[in-house]
Amino acid sequence: MKALAGILLVIAVIIPGVNDIATVNKLKKDAEKAYLAGDYAKATQAYTMLTDSLGVLEDKLFLNLGHSLFQQGDSAQAFSQYQRLINTKEKDLKSLAYNQMGIISNKPGDRNTALSFFKEALKADPTNEEARYNYQLVKRQIAEDNEKNQDDQQQDKEKNEEKEDEKKDQQDKDQNNDQKNEEQKKQDQEKKDQESENKEQKDQEQQSEEQKKEQEKKDQEQKKKEQQDAEQQDKENKDGEKQPPQINPDKLKEMNISEEKAKMILEAMRNSEIQYIQQNKRKGVKKPESGKPDW
């Protein structure tokens, strides 16, 4: 904003009816001197005393009070003083007041209000070049703000689209992770089932091996027993050969068989028994098939 320059500090003509003319004149001079020296607080105090305490209601004093407040940064109070001039018949003062109101209002979001104040300043005084400059400046600022708003809206739109894309990517990622987790669970379960099956098979093999060993043990014991029985039978047969059976004569008489014939029958029976035992020894005991019962 073009710096406020060339502010005219005017001393109003003393209106009729003021009791203490000397006091009024002194305050006007003190206010002007303080303003020019940059002591805006002192100038504000003097102008306020003139307008409020002494009742000097002059448009030029309102304008100078507004300038003093504005220089102190009290824009709200300054704006109130400038507003007191919008109905003045002095067009140059009215134009200056509107220009200052536009300067105070020119803020982001309120530039259209400022533009309307500068426009009123030019209507009141078309020769006010500062108001014209400010009017053109604010028009450009409004255009830039609109462009910036469009850019911001576009950026917001792009950001929202990016967020939507990121959200979709995250959803896809989560879905893929869920699928991977399900596949992993399935693989873990299959592995667990396989391990369980392998363990069961191993247990069966171990049990079968134990049964096989047990059967072999039984076979060995059975073979040993049969061998012992065979040996015992051989022993008995040998003992039988050494001591042939005794023949009871009384029994022979009852059966009407001679003693010689009875001996021949007993000898044939003994030979048949020996032959049967020897044949069984050559055949041996057939081993039962592994994994099948021996009955």
Domain residue spans in the chain? 21-142, 246-284
Whole-number pLDDT of residue 280:
67
pTM, 2 dp: 0.49
Whole-number pLDDT of residue 176:
82
| Mean pLDDT, all residues of the chain | 81
Q: Poorest-confidence range of 69-73, 105-109, 230-234, 265-269?
A: 230-234
Whole-number pLDDT of residue 15:
41
pLDDT band per the 50, 70, 90 thresholds, residue 4: very low
Q: Check residues 29 and 204 and name the one with the higher pLDDT.
A: 29
Q: Out of 3.40.50.300, 3.40.50.720, 1.25.40.10, 1.10.1840.10, select the CATH number for domain 21-142.
A: 1.25.40.10
**Angle, CA 153 vertex, CA 150 and CA 156 arms, to 5°:** 150
CA distances from 243 to 101, 144, 238, 267 (A): 158, 144, 9, 12
Q: Poorest-confidence range of 4-13, 103-112, 169-178, 193-202?
A: 4-13
Whole-number pLDDT of residue 231:
79
Residues 194-236 pLDDT 10s = 888 888 888 788 888 888 888 888 888 888 887 887 777 777 6
